[in-house]
Structure 1
Amino acid sequence: MKLTSLFALLFCISAAVAQQPIRYEVSFPNYVHHEARIKMFIPQVKGVVALRMSRSSPGRYATHEFGKNVYDVTARDSVSGREIKVIQKDGDVYSVAYTGKSLIVEYTLFGDHVDGTYAAIDRQHAHFNMPASFMWAIGQEKRPLEISFAIPAGTNWKIATQLKPGKTANQFSAPDLQYFMDSPTELADFKERSWTVKDTDGKTKTIAVILHGDVSDALMDEYTEEIKKIVTEAGKVFGQLPDFDFGRYTFMIDLMPNNDGDGMEHRNSTIITGRA
Structure 2
Amino acid sequence: MAAHHTRSCSFPSNSHPIVTQLDESLCRLRSSQAASTSSVTNKLNDLKDLYKCVDEFLQLPLNQKNVSQTQWVEEVLDGSLRLLDICSTSRDVLAQSKERIQDIQSVLRRRCSGELNITSEVAEYLKTRKTSKKMMKKCLKDIKEVDNTQEANVLTDVQAMTVDVIKSMLSYIVGSQKNSWSFSKLVGQKAEKETSASTSEFDVVDATLEVFCHKKKANVDMSQLMKLESEVQEIDEVFECLFRHLVKTRSTLLNVLSN
What TM-score do the two structures reach when normalised by structure 1? 0.19
Which one has the bigger helix percentage?
Answer: 2
Which of 1 and 2 has higher RCO (CA within 8 Å, sep 6+)? 2
What TM-score do the two structures reach when normalised by structure 2? 0.20
Which one has the bigger strand percentage?
Answer: 1
